[in-house]
Structure 1
């Protein structure tokens, strides 16, 4: 098998977001791959703007990245019991593009959040948001990184052995799904 291309999507725009760190750990554990970090700095979806000027170039680039990837990894924070607005906005914009970029695409979902549940509700909702796109979302193992601000060492690696084992199992399943 050739080197797979993975697109990572962080639901947080912050440069030092724990969701970005979790995605970096996931791709490190995945192993040899070309990794492309998606940019969710997109305009807010507005149907009037779309009608007037079409799909923004940044949105089309994101859709094309997803379409061309072998798999997508998404990590979301949990804000008020849901995925971030930034992530939902990106999904709404992508739904307006042609070529169904998510169709049959292997997708691994994870979450990192400050709270005790580690983003469990956000992940559940994110899974439902993806249903209309018909990707191959992995059922698990689910990675919910609770109190995420204290779960990484100075090198950005996960400290908890259980989290590392679970994330490794998810990446192993993603490899198998890509090969399928």
Structure 2
């Protein structure tokens, strides 16, 4: 019984730790085989909010542009002056709130909760954390209409990361976003 309870609790924790799936949307009326070349829209990378130094920097923009370029090339699209697609990336940083509840005291006895362990106490509190969303938009260069969008989210931690780790995180996010392009 105790074993099953612990196993169920661990399973719930693993499900709770999973990251949100990558979001993708596209225009189903478009023939994506016609898109063979791409170029950057101006501005190529936008930041919201613009004044957040943890996210908005020339170095971050450069890393994003490099990762997107390499990933699009790997997906068969070539960079060109007169392109079929225009690419723009949005980096959105926002604070989210979560409720955390901690239970302490009491114990799990052979016959169930509280056997021989005294009362359990529960404490709840709000925790704020920052979430970074990376969104890649592909627009038809002829009519300017959005034809494909993909985005991924990641929590930002307060710990400083070396530049190589930041670069790898950006590459991983961009690769995750663009794995489903083209959408057929």
- TM-score range (shorter-chain normalised) is 0.3 to 0.5
Instruction: Tell me the TM-score normalized by structure 2.
Output: 0.35
Instruction: Tell me the TM-score normalized by structure 1.
Output: 0.35
